[in-house]
Chains A and B, each alone.
Chain A
Amino acid sequence: MKIIQRLLVAAVGVLALAVPTAWAAGEYYKPNKHVWSWEGPFGTYDRGELQRGFLVYQQVCSACHGMEQLHLRNLGEQGGPFYLAEYPNANDNPIVRAIAAEYIVEDGPDEFGDMFERPGRPSDRFPYPYANQAQGRAANGGAYPPDFSVIVKARKQGPEYIRSLLLGYDYEPPDDLEVRPGNYYNPYFPGGLLAMAPQLQDDLIEYPDGAPATREQMAHDVVTFLAWASEPHMEARKRMGLMVMIYLLALAGLLYAAYRQVWSNVKH
């Protein structure tokens, strides 16, 4: 009942529409511009960035942020970080199988009704860091680390915003803003205070391809990976778009010629 009451109050509040947005500190920054490999009508995800971005996710973010909607096999599907043309079925992809095997997942019940543990398979979902939301909150001082399945689409100017957020911890908080323990000042975050500590430092991880693991590089890579996770079919979408556009433009040209022809004998 309490919830209902709160809902109604909230809804009426919305209707009264005096709701000026409650950015406590008033000031927060617009995300910084950035150039991505996948921009534009022909842009594709850079495989190197995707693979490094996956590493950043796996070694850093996945401790707190899950990706509920993704399966490990997605990594090896067309357009994914570890897609190999020889393995059109991602479940056979050796890189993905190796990645999956590193995880221990719970399965079952077996014929005795018991749950058991086994190494992961590509068909498993990404392991989730928490059993439920409450656990996630409890582990993070009351703030739930949002799921990453569609995080890039779920924020305005998603890619720029997340990159700016990850690199945006170096500012002095304004004097009137009290930063309590467990909170961090980040002017890109609405309200300026978030419960996520700075995550990226130079050389936090080692890239197998030898790319320098600077903060900027890691932020760039992980956002590319998250963009792919949010929209794994982007490359297919653009590819089909090109064919559709060519087809429609040709059809429009033909129809226009037909139109001129049909109407050439009448005044209108």
Chain B
Amino acid sequence: MSGPSTYEPKTGFTRWLDKRLPIARLGWDSFVDFPTPRNLNYWWTFGGILAVCLMIQILTGIVLAMHYVPHIDYSCASVERIDRDVNFGWLLRNSHANGASMFFLAVYLHMLRGLYYGSYKAPRELLWILGVVIYLLMMAAAFLGYVLPWGQMSFWGAMVITNLFGALPVVGTPVTEWLWGGFSVGNATLNRFFSLHYLIPFLIAGVVGLHIWALHVPGNNNPTGLTVKTGADTLPFHPYYTVKDGFAIVVFLIIFAFFVFYWPDALGHADNYVEADALVTPAHIVPEWYLLPFYAILRAVPDKLGGVILMFGAIGVLFILPWLDTSRVRSMRYRPMGRWFFLFFVIACLGLGWVGAELPDNKVPVLGVLGLDFLWMGRILTLYYFGYFLVVLPLLGLVEKPAERPASIERSVLGKDTFGAAAPVAALAE
């Protein structure tokens, strides 16, 4: 951990323990005394929120698994039984299904925070990469979980996604059949998906451990992007950030509870309450909202293999991002051009989500008069998505003239009135 440990065992037992397994020391250094930049804003609360989300998914999931039956003939009925006859089963299922959405909402804000404040840059490259691994695992968990209730969208979503692997040259068919455990999506598929759906969250928990370890070596980034220089730049994690994170978590839970108790099916799809039927293709197969941007990228390419490569590339590019961005400056606060490109990047991601939910041939509202359909809108936005990482960030760092930055975190805080410019020393001596 950064800096020497300040933990002092006070009782006989903690002294005994500290010599054998210094776990109390680890906890103290990581979550009590941990030096944290004093200027973190609310975008930094999503890490704690995500930890809560993971715990909610695991706890509700374990209880759901006690009642769920992974069999194509009984799965739908067992899920209904959970909703109707299991004590508070409706609460468990609403929490788990909406919890997945809330989890993704939080992770997207968490990632955008990292992109805006340059948290992926040295010395936090591994921290960022571990985050991308978690994100990949989350997508896998959510996709597998969505298959379990064995509704129409479950089945056809599984069909579309597993078929993507069929696009691979030579190994395509064997790989797809291996994933299915047969010659089509069927009972064997559902069983293995359940097994993996149960496994992955624990893998996530493990990677989260590494993620926090990799955080606690360099310490938090902060809104200025400046490196912590002195103790005056930081505050102990407890009580300053425990209370701030705690407040943010409860506000987040209010939004969560709103969906669970007052709008439980808003984020789902009506078709998934229809039992899977291999002979009836739904008119419009769409994934859950959090996967829509990737669905749009997949469909932007006329060639199936090309689409698959592009879709995985959209996540792959995040792995090499730390080496794509050439700017010396971390925070977009001090990147007058970068922040505009970033804003358009956020718009492009939202736009891709919209495209993913629409039929490609439909005309875009308003812009449709120009002949723009969703297929082409998806293509333009996909181009910008990749352009942002592969062209803008590498080149911009070389040409952009960063705005003047405060001398330190401490000064940026104390000299708030003279924000941006270095505050005159006299003004600091208050």
Say what secondary structure dominates the interface of chain A: helix
Residue of A nearest to B151 (CB): A154
Closest beta carbon of chain B to A71's beta carbon, Å: 8
Check A266–B159 contact: CB distance below 8 A: no
* CA–CA, A3 and B279, complex, Å: 8
- A12 beta carbon closer than 8 Å to chain B: yes
Residue of A nearest to B81 (CB): A69
Residue of A nearest to B158 (CB): A11
Residues of B participating in the A interface, judged by any CB pair closer than 8 Å = 38-39, 77, 80-81, 83-84, 90-91, 94, 156, 159-160, 163-164, 183-185, 235, 239-240, 243-244, 246-247, 250-251, 253-254, 257-258, 260-262, 264-265, 270-271, 273-274, 278-279, 281, 283-285, 299, 304, 307, 359-361, 413-414
* CA–CA, A146 and B271, complex, Å: 13
Check A18–B361 contact: CB distance below 8 A: yes
Check B254–A21 contact: CB distance below 8 A: no
Check B163–A74 contact: CB distance below 8 A: no
Q: Identify 27 residue pairs between A and B in the complex whose beta-carbon atoms are under 8 Å apart, listed by A's number.
A: A4-B184, A8-B163, A11-B159, A14-B156, A14-B160, A14-B281, A15-B160, A17-B299, A17-B359, A18-B360, A20-B361, A21-B283, A41-B262, A68-B77, A69-B84, A74-B84, A154-B273, A158-B270, A190-B283, A231-B83, A231-B90, A248-B253, A249-B254, A255-B246, A262-B243, A266-B235, A268-B39
Given contacts A241-B261, A244-B261, A252-B250, contact A11 B299 (CB under 8 A): no
Check A248–B160 contact: CB distance below 8 A: no
* CA–CA, A158 and B271, complex, Å: 11
Q: Which of A6, A8, A156, A252 is most buried by chain B, counting CB atoms within 10 A of its CB?
A: A252
A6-B279, A15-B164, A233-B90 given; 13 more Cβ-contact pairs under 8 Å:
A4-B183, A14-B281, A15-B160, A22-B283, A154-B271, A241-B261, A244-B261, A248-B250, A252-B250, A252-B254, A258-B247, A267-B414, A268-B39
Check A153–B270 contact: CB distance below 8 A: yes
Check A262–B77 contact: CB distance below 8 A: no
* CA–CA, A20 and B251, complex, Å: 41
Check A245–B257 contact: CB distance below 8 A: yes
* CA–CA, A15 and B298, complex, Å: 9
The 8 closest A-B pairs by CB, nearest first: A241-B261, A154-B273, A255-B247, A69-B80, A21-B283, A252-B250, A153-B273, A150-B273
Residue of A nearest to B299 (CB): A17
A221-234 vs B: 1/0 string, CB under 8 Å? 00000000001110
Given contacts A18-B360, A21-B283, A21-B284, contact A259 B84 (CB under 8 A): no
Check B184–A14 contact: CB distance below 8 A: no
Closest beta carbon of chain B to A237's beta carbon, Å: 6
Q: Which of A15, A20, A231, A249 is most buried by chain B, counting CB atoms within 10 A of its CB?
A: A15
A-B contact count (CB 8 A): 129
Check B247–A267 contact: CB distance below 8 A: no
Give every chain A residue within 8 A of B264 (Cβ-Cβ). 237
Given contacts A4-B183, A69-B81, contact A259 B160 (CB under 8 A): no
* CA–CA, A241 and B91, complex, Å: 10
- A112 beta carbon closer than 8 Å to chain B: no
* CA–CA, A258 and B243, complex, Å: 7
- A171 beta carbon closer than 8 Å to chain B: no
Check B240–A263 contact: CB distance below 8 A: yes
Give every chain A residue within 8 A of B163 (Cβ-Cβ). 8, 11-12, 15
* CA–CA, A248 and B218, complex, Å: 35
* CA–CA, A245 and B38, complex, Å: 31
Q: Indicate which residue in A10, A70, A263 contacts B281 across the interface (CB closer than 8 Å).
A: A10
* CA–CA, A16 and B240, complex, Å: 53
Interface residues of A in 3-47 (CB under 8 A from B): 3-4, 6-8, 10-15, 17-22, 41
Check B413–A154 contact: CB distance below 8 A: no
* CA–CA, A68 and B80, complex, Å: 10
* CA–CA, A137 and B261, complex, Å: 38
Residue of B nearest to A146 (CB): B274
Given contacts A3-B278, A20-B361, contact A241 B257 (CB under 8 A): yes
Interface residues of A in 245-267 (CB under 8 A from B): 245, 248-249, 251-252, 255-256, 258-259, 262-263, 266-267
- A215 beta carbon closer than 8 Å to chain B: no
* CA–CA, A263 and B77, complex, Å: 52
- A118 beta carbon closer than 8 Å to chain B: no
Check A259–B254 contact: CB distance below 8 A: no
Check A69–B279 contact: CB distance below 8 A: no
* CA–CA, A195 and B56, complex, Å: 45
* CA–CA, A89 and B386, complex, Å: 61
Residue of A nearest to B40 (CB): A268
Q: Indicate which residue in A17, A153, A248 contacts B257 across the interface (CB closer than 8 Å).
A: A248
Residue of A nearest to B264 (CB): A237
Check B274–A154 contact: CB distance below 8 A: yes
Residue of B nearest to A154 (CB): B273
Give every chain B residue within 8 A of A255 (Cβ-Cβ). 243, 246-247, 250
* CA–CA, A231 and B94, complex, Å: 12
* CA–CA, A183 and B278, complex, Å: 25
Given contacts A252-B254, A267-B413, contact A11 B84 (CB under 8 A): no
Closest beta carbon of chain A to B292's beta carbon, Å: 14
Give every chain B residue within 8 A of A252 (Cβ-Cβ). 247, 250-251, 254
Check B240–A262 contact: CB distance below 8 A: yes
Check A150–B80 contact: CB distance below 8 A: yes
- A149 beta carbon closer than 8 Å to chain B: yes
Residue of A nearest to B271 (CB): A154
* CA–CA, A259 and B257, complex, Å: 22
Check B81–A268 contact: CB distance below 8 A: no
* CA–CA, A268 and B81, complex, Å: 52
Give every chain A residue within 8 A of B273 (Cβ-Cβ). 150, 153-154
- A97 beta carbon closer than 8 Å to chain B: no
* CA–CA, A241 and B262, complex, Å: 7
Check B77–A238 contact: CB distance below 8 A: no
Closest beta carbon of chain B to A80's beta carbon, Å: 11
A155-169 vs B: 1/0 string, CB under 8 Å? 110100000000000
Given contacts A14-B160, A21-B284, contact A248 B413 (CB under 8 A): no
- A131 beta carbon closer than 8 Å to chain B: no
Give every chain B residue within 8 A of A7 (Cβ-Cβ). 159, 184-185, 278
